[in-house]
Amino acid sequence: MLIKRSSWVLLYFKENRFYLARAGEGKLNTNEGIIDLDSLVNKSYGIKGKTHLGLEYIVSKPDLITLFKIFKRKTQVVYPKDIGTIVLLADICPGSLVVEAGTGSGFLTAILANFVKPSGKVFTYEVRREFQEVAIKNLTMVGLERYVEFKLKDIRKGIDEKEVDAVILDMPDPWNVADIAFSSLRSGGKIVCFLPTINQVERVVETLKERGFIMIEVREILERTYKVKRGETRPEVFMIGHTGYIVSGGKP
Ligand SMILES: C[S@@+](CC[C@H](N)C(=O)[O-])C[C@H]1O[C@@H](n2cnc3c(N)ncnc32)[C@H](O)[C@@H]1O
């Protein structure tokens, strides 16, 4: 696969020492020396290069999770460990129509867009223009904005889309959206809420039950990464203690 002009490249020296840049955009100054980004255009991913100091790097194609490092972060964002489960519980696949609120910095939006493309769409609601602008910039940087309709609207005032496959809520009071989410979902459609506190979980579960959602479940994802060295392999000392709870359910 050839590297196109302006496409993102991962310039990998060693573990925890890599850079993200766009091919064809001049020179990149790094601690390891200068990298000529123009020389990468039309080369194959996987090639090796050398900085002007003679240090070797590998040119790879970055995945979306790695590209999150170039995203601007203006709000609390959903972590990859939670996003994976949210996507499964919401049953998202290519072609899905997904409503989301709030957009925030667009981290979850980007992953949703990546799953629904090329024929699906994410309709993402946000009340604050400054956050929406950041999210649009973030998604445009990775070419996913075309699969998203960004809406500057309080979702509690109504969901414009009908017969959607999933409604995903990362906002403080999702219980105020239970009714309109139910009306907007197709039969068998999913609702998934991401919530930082257990008090919110109780309230949303009660509301979802009252509204007629079924198969309601609550879970929390704990992730532990490992340091691997022969004879000394063990979990990393630090881990993310808490992000949030995931509440899921379906419209009968
Ligand atoms: C925690 S952030 C979302 C982060 C986002 N999921 C991400 O991964 O980048 C919550 C967002 O919900 C927005 N919000 C809160 N209430 C809302 C509502 N009623 N309608 C639409 N957006 C809302 C906030 O302005 C904020 O940007």
Span 106-135, pLDDT tens digits: 999 999 999 999 999 999 999 999 999 999
- Given pLDDT bands bounded at 50, 70 and 90, which one contains residue 89? very high
Report the nearest atom of ligand 1 relative to the CA of 154.
20
Gap from CA of 57 to ligand 1 centroid (Å): 39
Q: Output b/e per residue, 18-27; b: 16+ Cβ within 10 A.
A: bbebbbbeee
The pLDDT of residue 13:
97
pLDDT of residue 221: 97
- Mean pLDDT for 132-151 is 98
pLDDT tens figures, 91-114: 999 999 999 999 999 999 999 999
pLDDT at 195 (0 to 100): 98
Question: What average pLDDT does this structure show over 159-187?
Answer: 98
Strand stretches in 104-184, DSSP E: 121-126, 148-152, 164-169
- The pLDDT of residue 10 is 98
Nearest CA to ligand 1 atom 23: 102
Substitution candidate for ligand 1 out of 87, 148, 167, 171 with most atoms within 8 A of CB: 171
Task: Give the pair of three-digit tokens for residue 187.
Answer: 């039969």
What is the rounded average pLDDT of the residues 140-165? 98
pLDDT at 32: 96
pLDDT at position 105:
98
Q: Residue 84, exposed/middle/buried by CB under 10 A (0-12, 13-18, 19+)?
A: middle
pLDDT at 201: 98
Q: How confident is the model at residue 167 (pLDDT cuts 50, 70, 90)?
A: very high
